[in-house]
Chain A
């Protein structure tokens, strides 16, 4: 019983992290129609900014610095690297994204060195719940992820800007005919995605207190997997895919016999799902223009 409970909490909190990162991938894909493979590295930058900010000894200040810094970075990446390629072939954009990713990782190594930096943001300790020992940081992660995803869902559904995001993702040209400034919407999307990535960076540091230049690589790929499983471009899909992947990972880690193969299992599931449902769970077939 307590095993099941702790696996559940771990899975949900990990899933919450994946979901928050996956939202960045899926929103940018839906709205700007590009796969931002540098998205995972924003997590890493967020981690380093927290490390720098912790010099103040104030965790909240460090988190604020990370969120603001990542938002500015995300907006700059879009303006400098992606905007000039609007209308270019998707392959050119993809290669640029990979280039941006390596650029950020290299910059981080130059600035901070290749050895991981230890950073303890805040020790929440552990509690006993239903007989299981649960890290409070996992509960905090879960709570924050739930709040963030709820707010985002409401924002997209009920605000003028949020609806404009749906309109742009569905039909860019028709959205412009409504008077929507598509570039502005894309900037906002990058800003939101980067803020979520910065929070994901924080949650990673709460789980394992070390940041290195490749911190964002694996979570980035996994969250991308989650976005694809859920249906890339779909916001509820990214949440569903993230939670699902987190649960699979958490369960797999608990079963000793298959624990070492966890990553392989996750990516195999991706392949299986894509074979059966190429558009993911909640993805839609794009209406082809005639």
Chain B
């Protein structure tokens, strides 16, 4: 059974039909990516799945539970979280306090300390800047913090919305490596990206979105070979 199962999901912004009944699934242990042009509905998909924006119709099932009408904070407690577009770290809080917020649902203090150490090992820059106000971090460091903050709650499913946005090529590579690393540690990943080449390379499967619909799907290799994807997203 899939970890995340989305069926006929429709989302409206006022009278505008932003998602036209999309269906997809993410299996345990996978990295699945959603690619597509700006305005295709990728971010809308992510935000409606996790309950930040309301769904018009369709069903979302996570880990065997129907979460179609569940509010966001309860979905997070079920084991799904998201690194939102633009990172949205808490600018006024320190690096440490941001990680503390990431562990908001964690009651076990010993576990919190272990996870914190693990994150500081994974992101040494964050350890160095532990007490710095997060708003003063560079873009790359903020992305590391946003990812660290998200995995503090040990999600079963981690969603990342445009994690490579605004980063230098070197940092983009690093971010994609970290995503694979997190996935190897047992976290299922749903990734939204405009960087189609990189996403196809690290994903087990990929869905292509256009105008609020899913128009193609397949493994990275299948899609990379597809003429349509070549033309539209890989500049081929």
Contacts and interface: CB of A to CB of B under 8 A. Distances in A.
Interface of A: 160, 163-164, 166-167, 170-171, 173-182, 287, 290
Contact of A166 (B50, B73, B77, B92): B92
Nearest to B135: A287
A63 B149 CA distance: 43
B73 A170 contact: no
Contacts of B22: none
Interface of B: 50-52, 71-73, 76-77, 81-82, 84, 86, 88-93, 97, 100-102, 104-105, 149-150, 153
A70 to B, nearest CB: 28
B91 A179 contact: no
B52 A176 contact: yes
Contacts of B100: 163
A170 B91 contact: yes
A177 B161 CA distance: 13
Given A163-B101, A167-B93, A178-B104, A173 B88 contact: yes
Contact of A177 (B76, B86, B92, B93): B76
Contacts of B77: 179
The main secondary structure of chain B at its interface with chain A is: loop
A175 B89 CA distance: 9
9 contacts: A166-B90, A174-B88, A176-B51, A176-B52, A176-B73, A177-B84, A177-B150, A180-B104, A182-B73
Q: Which of A177, A182, A287, A290 has the most CB of B within 10 A?
A: A177
Contacts of B104: 160, 164, 178-180
A131 to B, nearest CB: 45
A194 to B, nearest CB: 24
The main secondary structure of chain A at its interface with chain B is: helix
Given A160-B104, A174-B89, A177-B72, 5 more contacts: A166-B90, A166-B93, A174-B84, A177-B76, A178-B104
B107 to A, nearest CB: 10
Contact of B97 (A163, A177, A181): A163
In the A-B complex, list the 3 residue pairs whose CB atoms are closest, starting with the nearest.
Answer: A179-B76, A179-B105, A176-B72
A204 to B, nearest CB: 33
A181 B93 CA distance: 19
A13 to B, nearest CB: 31
A154 to B, nearest CB: 14
A189 to B, nearest CB: 16
A170 B90 contact: yes
Contacts of B52: 173, 176-177
Given A177-B50, A178-B104, A179-B153, A290 B86 contact: yes
B62 to A, nearest CB: 14
A166 B91 CA distance: 10
Contacts of A166: 90, 92-93
Given A174-B84, A178-B101, A163 B76 contact: no
Given A176-B73, A176-B76, A177-B81, A167 B101 contact: yes
Nearest to B103: A178
B147 to A, nearest CB: 13
Nearest to B153: A179
A181 B51 CA distance: 12
B88 A180 contact: no
A171 B73 contact: no
A32 to B, nearest CB: 16
